[in-house]
Amino acid sequence: MTDTTAPTGKQTELRVGLVGGGYFARFHMDAWSRIPGVRFAALADPDETKRAWAEATYPGIATYSSLAAMRDAGVMDLIDIATPPQTHAALVTEAMSTGLPVICQKPFCTTLAEAEAVTARAEAAGTLLVVHENFRFEPWYQECRRILDEGRLGEIYQISFRMRPGDGQGPRAYLDRQPYFQKMQRFLIRETGIHFIDVFRYLLGPVSAVTAHLSRLNPVIAGEDAGIVVFEFASGARGLYDANRLSDHISDNRRRTMGEMLLEGSKASLRLDGYGHLYMRAFGSNDETRIDFPWRDLGYGGDCVRLCLAHIADAVRAGTRPMNTAREYLENLRIEDAIYRSSSAGATMRLDDK
């Protein structure tokens, strides 16, 4: 199958310096190593074991114990920060001193106020700061966007997503992959729900209000791991995010889609299953048709990390504006904050409420 997702901008080589060598940073390494016109040039991480793993896996890269050392070596044209949220403010601020474009992983910073301050500093410094939000680049959502643009679903009534990764049961929940999950005071929405906030906005546009009920089912974790959030969109459409990390769904890889989606319109409905397949059913029909579209089951979530980073690299080379600059991404964090306030107060929160 032909891959139609390669960058289309200027093909001068872009040297990338990655900060962080942990679990998810390895998806970044793999992605950068497969993007045309890009060279994964350097890694900065204080952990010698992680540096040694990267050197053995990606021969020829330079490794450093800190961002400062990597910066002083002058080996990069773009900085990608893939570290925990509590490190973001300091690392992004330090990266600004290079004058280079900066990518920062989500969750972006530790609070909305901190993210707003970091964004303002980047803008004052003239630094392009982009948040690595990859779910909208999952190929099934890219295909949904194309179908919506073609008007094939008609007037959109509702989007619903049932998130069921099945990874949250028992005392060892998350410990084998990302153990810090257990200690996050804000977990379900902050860590994972933020992806679906972005996807919902990408597909249905601005959110005007949210109503949320969040709960903790597994007592070994600090934050919430289940919840229901109702979204009101400016268009008049509704959204439902129904999440439970202890339950699962049908799939050979339950982290591929994390669950199942239904997008309903006046002409047709579109359904996503746990295999990354899309099915369309015309209004009034009892039959579904599978929608064929190109994607590769590589990396994470249909290779969405590579697709996201390729989009940003392409924009940097071409001098255009990528999606999800820090300023644009703040709206996701405002919605996240409203969800937590809604659950705490037991009331609907409008996005213009403070």
Q: Do 323 and 308 touch, CB atoms closer than 8 A? A: no
Report pLDDT for 353.
62
Sheet holding 14-19, edge to edge: 62-64, 38-44, 14-19, 78-81, 102-105, 129-132
Would you call 157 helix, strand, or coil by DSSP? strand
Q: How many Cα neighbours within 13 Å face the side chain of 143?
A: 20
Average pLDDT over residues 10-23: 87
Burial 119-140 (b: 16+ CB within 10 A, else e): bebbeeeebbbbbbbbbbbbbb
- Average pLDDT over all residues of the chain: 95
Does the pLDDT at position 9 exceed 50?
no
Calpha distance 24→322 (Å, rounded): 22
pLDDT tens digits for range 134-154: 999 999 999 999 999 999 999
Average pLDDT over residues 194-210: 98
pLDDT tens digits for range 276-301: 999 999 999 999 999 999 999 999 99
Q: What Å distances lie between residue 349 and 110, 200, 204, 256, CA to CA?
A: 21, 17, 19, 31
Does the pLDDT at position 181 exceed 80?
yes
Question: Based on C-alpha coordinates, what's the Rg of the chain?
Answer: 20
DSSP for 70-116 reads: HHHHT--SEEEE-S-GGGHHHHHHHHHTTT--EEEESS-SSSHHHHH
Does the pLDDT at position 240 exceed 80?
yes
Q: Do 73 and 42 touch, CB atoms closer than 8 A? A: yes
Could you tell me what percent of the chain has a pLDDT over 70? 96
With 0.85 as the threshold, say if the pTM is over it. yes
Would you call 243 helix, strand, or coil by DSSP? strand
pLDDT grade for 352, boundaries at 50, 70 and 90: confident
Q: Do 214 and 189 touch, CB atoms closer than 8 A? A: yes
Beta-strand ranges (E) seen in the chain are 14-19, 38-44, 62-64, 78-81, 102-105, 129-132, 156-163, 207-215, 226-233, 238-244, 259-265, 268-272, 278-282, 289-291, 349-350
Terminal Cα distance for the chain, rounded: 49
Calpha distance 233→235 (Å, rounded): 5
Instruction: Tell me the domains of the chain and their CATH numbers.
Output: 14-134+307-323 (3.40.50.720), 136-296+332-350 (3.30.360.10)
Report pLDDT for 5.
36
From 23, 73, 67, select the one nearest 44 (Cα to Cα).
Answer: 67
Average pLDDT over residues 319-339: 97
Identify the DSSP state of 321: P
